[in-house]
Amino acid sequence: MSELEVLGRLGVSLAIGLLIGLERGWRRRSAGEGRRAAGLRTLGLTGLLGGVVASTTGGAADALLAGAFLSLALVLGVFQLLEARRTRDASATGVIAGLLAFALGAYAARGSLLVAVGGAVAATALLAFKRPLHAWVRALSWAELRALLVLLVMTALILPVLPDRTFDPWQALNPRRIWLLAVLIAGVSFLGYAAVRIAGARGGLLLSALAGGLASSTATTLSFARLVRSNPALCTWLAGGSLISSGLMALRVLVLAGAINRPFALALAWPMGAFALVLGAAGALLMTRRPAGAEPQTITTLTNPLELASALKFAGLIAVIMLLGKVLSRAFGAMGVYGLAALSGVADVDALTLSVSELAGRDLAASAAVLAVSLAVASNTLSKAVIAAVVGGRKHGLLMGGASLAAVAAAALILVLRI
């Protein structure tokens, strides 16, 4: 390694320490000089120390690195203890942050710079988001924690022993693959659910719509339509939120497809982009017409998508659609899959998306797979307009229906031009 490269790596080590130290120093900025166990300068030097020690060569290099780490742990522990006695605030976070600055600084000298910087950014984010994370833990119910833990345990214990092969005559059902897909969609849905739970009463309509698009745009549409029924003055505003949620649903479909079949996702990006663009633009336009004095509304009807029963039901739904897709594609070709897409899209888009992504390029032509997913999304989008009309009233339904038809037309035009 040249001297110039060593200097560059030491610079990264210093930057890592300064990044972590910036957050630590800012959090304790009200404390007087000499009244902090470790701040910006100390942690900056700690990162640089890790880089310098790790850059040494020779037979005793590893022993020197281990000794420096243990010595630093002792020093930081003593100063943290003195600070805790003075402030009566016992916490090991400062010590861990200092040791992490040293370790990442050392790794920057010896290993991948990208990994070291990524670790520093992740550590700083965790330190900086202390209050939101603690608020989320306080808001977490036992049912939510239990569902998450059970799913993680079942995934860790059962997934490795599930057979990674098909066992049916149509070669469509792979138990391990089906379970992985179910976990994937449950995790994505939980992101939206958690966003709503964290936002609580402070979350406005836009945040609720965006989070609902991750969790369930259909549940979002139904929730907003009910709000329209009780407060007709919010009709236009809430229609905009529902449309934005549906637009994000189209992007979510694209992400799910990309996780399974990247080439297929690239082809799918055009119609899904048209759906998202038209629905998002229409929603944003309607939301600019917010009634005077209207208060933000939040979704309160979303259920925990990580309930074990829900995960198992979704895995079963994926298996059924995968099997039907394989059988119909062999018996009727692409037309059979199109019919399945249109019917299943009314209730759920995710299962069809994941199933078709598995078939695309192998048992089903990529262009036919793109059209099938687009049909499912169109069916789901139009069905939400019907929900809006039935629950929220005629005006609400017309606003949703007009924008939905425009989005379907835009996606259809894209498909005609590209297929």
Q: Write the DSSP assignment of 354-391 as a string of letters.
A: HHHHHHBTTTB-HHHHHHHHHHHHHHHHHHHHHHHHHH
What's phi and psi for 36, nearest 5 deg?
Answer: -120, 140
**How many residues are recorded in the chain?**
419
183 touches 151 (CB < 8 A): yes
Does the pLDDT of residue 153 top 90, yes or no?
A: no
Does the pLDDT of residue 393 top 70, yes or no?
A: yes
Look up residue 168 and give its DSSP letter.
S
| Helix (H) / strand (E) containing 288 | none
The two three-digit tokens of residue 298, written as one number: 């939040």
Helices (H), 288-333: 308-332
Residue 201 confidence (pLDDT) = 41
Does the pLDDT of residue 279 top 90, yes or no?
A: yes
Question: What whole-number percentage of the chain has pLDDT above 70?
Answer: 82
Residue 308 confidence (pLDDT) = 62
Q: Write the CB contacts of 310 (distance below 8 Å, at least 6 apart in sequence).
A: 186, 303, 304
Residue 15 confidence (pLDDT) = 93
Look up residue 112 and give its DSSP letter.
-
**Unique residue bearing structure tokens 């370790």:** 103
The more confidently predicted of residues 35 and 172 is: 172
What's phi and psi for 129, nearest 5 deg?
Answer: -95, 40
Quote the radius of gyration of the chain (alpha carbons, Å): 27
Does the pLDDT of residue 298 top 60, yes or no?
A: no
Q: For 125-145, b where at least 16 C-beta lie within 10 A, e where not — what string?
A: eebeeeeeeeeeeeeeeeebe
Question: What whole-number percentage of the chain has pLDDT above 90?
Answer: 32
Residue 81 confidence (pLDDT) = 82
Q: Is the dihedral of CA 328, 330, 331, 333 positive or negative?
A: positive
Residue 337 confidence (pLDDT) = 86
Contacts for 148-151 with beta carbons within 8 Å, 24 or more apart?
Answer: 148/190, 148/306, 150/308, 151/183, 151/186, 151/306, 151/308, 151/311
pLDDT in tens, 230-270: 788 888 988 998 999 999 999 999 998 998 899 999 999 99
The more confidently predicted of residues 54 and 323 is: 54
Closest CA to 237 of 374, 106, 396: 396
359 touches 370 (CB < 8 A): no
143 touches 193 (CB < 8 A): no
**Unique residue bearing structure tokens 């110039």:** 4
pLDDT in tens, 121-140: 999 998 888 887 777 677 77
Determine the Cα–Cα distance for residues 25 and 98; give it in Å rounded to an integer.
12
Assign 91 a pLDDT band (cuts: 50, 70, 90).
confident
End-to-end CA, the chain: 52
Does the pLDDT of residue 53 top 60, yes or no?
A: yes
Tally of CB atoms within 10 A around 329: 25
Does the pLDDT of residue 99 top 80, yes or no?
A: yes
The more confidently predicted of residues 341 and 31 is: 341
Q: Tell me what the mean pLDDT of segment 5-25 comes to.
A: 90
Closest CA to 43 of 8, 80, 7, 9: 80
Closest CA to 413 of 278, 245, 285, 283: 278
Residue 161 confidence (pLDDT) = 81
Determine the Cα–Cα distance for residues 235 and 289; give it in Å rounded to an integer.
10
Helices (H), 59-166: 61-87, 93-110, 113-128, 130-139, 142-158
Does the pLDDT of residue 193 top 90, yes or no?
A: no
Q: Is the dihedral of CA 402, 336, 320, 214 positive or negative?
A: negative
Assign 155 a pLDDT band (cuts: 50, 70, 90).
confident
pLDDT in tens, 321-356: 778 877 877 778 778 889 888 888 887 788 888 888
Determine the Cα–Cα distance for residues 174 and 272; give it in Å rounded to an integer.
28
Residue 194 confidence (pLDDT) = 65
Residue 54 confidence (pLDDT) = 92
Please state which of the ranges 206-220, 356-370, 378-392 shows the lowest mean pLDDT: 206-220
The two three-digit tokens of residue 69, written as one number: 């780490």
